[in-house]
Amino acid sequence: MVSRRIPSKLMIGSAIGLLLASCSGKVAQCNDLVEEINNAGSLAAQFEQEIEAELAGEMERLSGSNEGVPDFAAMASDVQSAADKLDEKIQALVSTMTADIGKVELTDETLVALQIRHLDLANRLGDQGNEMTSALGSMSELLGSMDGLMSPDGNFTPEQIENLTAKAEELQTISTQIETSGASFDELSQEEDAIIAEINTYCNPE
């Protein structure tokens, strides 16, 4: 029976219990498909833990940068590093998932359709990852452009205030984009739940 693993914001793979002992036809194909989805779920869980820890640490560093004059250049470098790590890991995850799940040879039309939907979901996960890394890259560029704008003595000209206000608004816009990408990951996870429910129903009819 297919079972949903721990709640996930970023994941497409789900822990799925193996079905029945190997035999021919539909059951054997069910076993083959869910075994690969199981493997993808293990990779997905590891990915989630690593990326959420990385992003959480980065956001904590940014929020704790209000003592004295912030080092925007260092902050920009840190955010870009987080973006690069996210991009590398999510593309590797999607590549592994699509290769492993896609290699399962199926003749059962219902299972083929479920396999295609799961592969499409994995590809859209990659697209959402691209959007998030792009937003993080924009945040890095913006933070870099703020280097040197803060006055050490706390005295600002009207022009500096206007410039900093505009930058702050840009930063908020980008932060919203990142939050939206996170919400999209949640939607993909819910869509996966529906696919898994269909696998359960089809492979384990009561």
Digit-coded pLDDT (tens) for 60-111: 666 655 555 677 888 888 889 888 888 888 888 888 889 989 999 999 999 9
d(CA 34, CA 47): 20
Distances in Å between the Cα of 110 and the Cα atoms of 105, 115, 202 are: 13, 9, 8
Digit-coded pLDDT (tens) for 129-168: 888 899 999 999 988 888 877 766 667 778 878 888 898 8
d(CA 32, CA 43): 17
Q: Which amino acid would we find at residue 194?
A: A
Q: Which amino acid would we find at residue 186?
A: D
pLDDT at 116 over 90: yes
pLDDT at 7 over 60: no
Question: If residue 73 lies in a helix (H) or strand (E), which one and from where to where?
Answer: helix 72-102
Per DSSP, the three-state class of 80 is: helix
Task: Tell me the pLDDT of the chain averaged across its residues.
Answer: 77
Digit-coded pLDDT (tens) for 9-45: 444 444 444 444 344 588 899 989 988 887 776 666 6
Is the separation of the CB atoms in 136 and 79 below 8 Å? yes
Please give the share of the chain, as a percent, with pLDDT higher than 70: 72
Bridge partners of 16, per DSSP, are 2
